[in-house]
Structure 1
Amino acid sequence: MGAYLVRRLLLMAVTLVGMSILIFALLRMVPGNIADILMDASGNDDPKEKARIVHDLGLDRPVTEQYWQWIDGLAHGDLGYAFVSERPAIEEIAPRIPISGKLAGLAIVFAILLGVPLGVVSAVRQNTGLDYGLRVLSLSGLSFPSFWLGLLVLMASVQWFGTIPIYDADAHGFFAQVKMLALPAIVVGFRSSALIMRLTRSSMLEVLRQDYVRTARSKGASNASVNYDHALRNALLPVITVIGIEAAFLVGGLIVTETVFNIPGVARFLVEAIRWRDYPIVQNLTMLIAVVVVTMNFLVDMAYMVLDPRIKFG
């Protein structure tokens, strides 16, 4: 077990190093930089002024030097300075992380609470009217784009209640924040719940056909005991994988939802930073998303051992 953890952590470190190189290289391959954007916006075509901006921002230094400066700063907790606001990047990023984190957390909780039970019900009641209805619901969730669903929710809110859900930075307390973020979380989590529902259903159907389930039924075990104690525990393994992937995806996939509901989170800020070629912000935010994805994959692997003690990592 210890050797596996060491190998796994080393693999995570190598993956993050590779991601940092890829992020840095791809960002520099995009045509134009912030100096070009500023010069175009001001209508100034003075090459000396552009060269001064490039020099002040350190963009004229060798690419390898820029990369090592960024990595060295990350190692010491220094994320550099944002090009646009000229403030420390950590001060721009840190307040937005909890906002996106709460929204993604609520969305994945909604997806699990809706997707897993409905998937189980759909499997247990296979080929009934309820099963067909739930399958149509799950297909709808996979088909509806989140931005379209978000706009529908906003228009329905205006039509029925005469108002729209507005993000309030002054909302304090657990229930106040849940109430504020509930609608956008449902919108963004609906697709994930549909995916979890379909996977839970298919995994449950596969497990319910296994010999040990039939043996449990032949020994007189109740339907609830067979469905939940025997079948669901083993059916959850692939579902846990999808939940981990969806949780990691939601952190970086909130762009449209945060824009539609005017939520000042990480994803929306990332789009703005890309538009301005704000390299420190884009690099650090993308690296943050990579860390979340790698960490979630690691936690999923650890969850396997908890759910199924037969799994051993050597």
Structure 2
Amino acid sequence: MLSYIIRRFLLMIVTLFGMSVLIFLLLRLMPGNVADILFDAGGYIDPAERAQIEAELGLDQPIVVQYVNWIGSLLRGDLGYSYITERPAIEEIAPRIPVTAQLALWALVFSVVFGVPLGVISAVRQNTALDYVLRLISLSGLSMPSFWLALLIIMFTVQYFGYIPIYTATPQSVWESLAMYAIPAAAVGFRSSALIMRLTRSSMLEVLRQDYIRTARSKGASENAVNYHHALRNAVLPVVTIIGIEAAFLIGGLIVTETVFNIPGVARFLVESILWRDYPIVQNLVMFIAVVVVVVNFVVDMLYAVLDPRIKYSD
């Protein structure tokens, strides 16, 4: 087990290294840089000032040197300086991470709380009217774009309650956070809950057809014991995988939702920074999202051994 954890950890480090190289190179392949944008916006070009800005950003150095300097700064906790806002990058990024994290957390909670139980019910009540209704709801969730659902929610609340559910202040407690993020979390979590529901249903149906389930029933086990103790425990692994994928996706996939609900989070700020070619902000935000994705996948791999005792990792 220990050797497996070490191998997975080393693989995570290698993956992050590859992601950092890819992020760095792709950003440099984009046409234009922050110096071009600054001077285009001003309507004039001063070669001396432009060269000075490029030197301060390190854009005049070889690309390998730029990459090494960036990684070294990251390891020291120095995220650079934003030329657009004229503030340290860490001061721009840090306040936005909790905002996106809370929204993603509530969306994930919504997805799991509704997706897993409804998927189990749909499987247990296969081919009944309830099953057909739940399958229709899940298909609607997969088909409906989250931004369109968000706009419908805003129009509905304005029409019937005279209230616009947009971000107005930083919540100070769990209940304030829930009240603030409940509507946008439901809007973005509806698709995830539909995906989790369908996967839970298919996984449960596959397990319910196994021989040991029939054996448990023949021994007189109750339906609740068969469905929740035997079947669900063995059907949960693919569900955990998709929950981990959705958790990683939500960190960087909230761009439209944050824009519609006026939420000053990481995803919305990333798009704005890309438009301005703000290298320190873009590099570090994309790297942060990559770290979240890789770490979540690492945690999911570790959960396999906990949730399924049949899995053994040789040393």
Please give the TM-score of this superposition, normalised by the length of structure 2: 0.98
Tell me the CA shift for residue 11 of structure 1.
0.4
Determine the structure 1 residue equivalent to 2:124. 124
Determine the structure 1 residue equivalent to 2:297. 297
SS for the counterpart of 1:127 is coil
Determine the structure 1 residue equivalent to 2:177. 177
CA distance in 1, matches of 2:304, 2:237: 7
What is the one-letter code of the residue matched to 2:303? Answer: A
SS for the counterpart of 2:44 is coil
SS for the counterpart of 1:44 is coil
Superposed, 1:10-159 pairs within 5 Å as 10-159=10-159
User: Which runs of no fewer than 5 residues in structure 2 stay unpaired?
Assistant: none
CA distance in 1, matches of 2:284, 2:167: 25
Tell me the CA shift for residue 170 of structure 1.
4.0
Tell me the CA shift for residue 166 of structure 1.
2.4
Determine the structure 2 residue equivalent to 1:205. 205
Q: CA-to-partner distance for each residue in 1:86-111, whole Å, 9 max, x for gaps? A: 21111111111110000000000100
Q: CA-to-partner distance for each residue in 1:235-272, whole Å, 9 max, x for gaps? A: 01100000000000000000010000000000001001
- 2:195 matched to 1:195? yes
What is the one-letter code of the residue matched to 1:259? Answer: T
User: Which runs of no fewer than 5 residues in structure 1 stay unpaired?
Assistant: none
What is the one-letter code of the residue matched to 2:102? Answer: K
Please give the TM-score of this superposition, normalised by the length of structure 1: 0.98
What is the one-letter code of the residue matched to 2:272? Answer: E
CA distance in 2, matches of 1:181, 1:231: 34
Say what the alpha-carbon RMSD is for the aligned residues.
1.0
Q: CA-to-partner distance for each residue in 1:42-88, whole Å, 9 max, x for gaps? A: 11133333323322322111111111111001111111111212211
SS for the counterpart of 2:32 is coil
Determine the structure 1 residue equivalent to 2:250. 250
Name the count of aligned residue pairs.
314
SS for the counterpart of 2:82 is coil
Tell me the CA shift for residue 307 of structure 1.
1.1
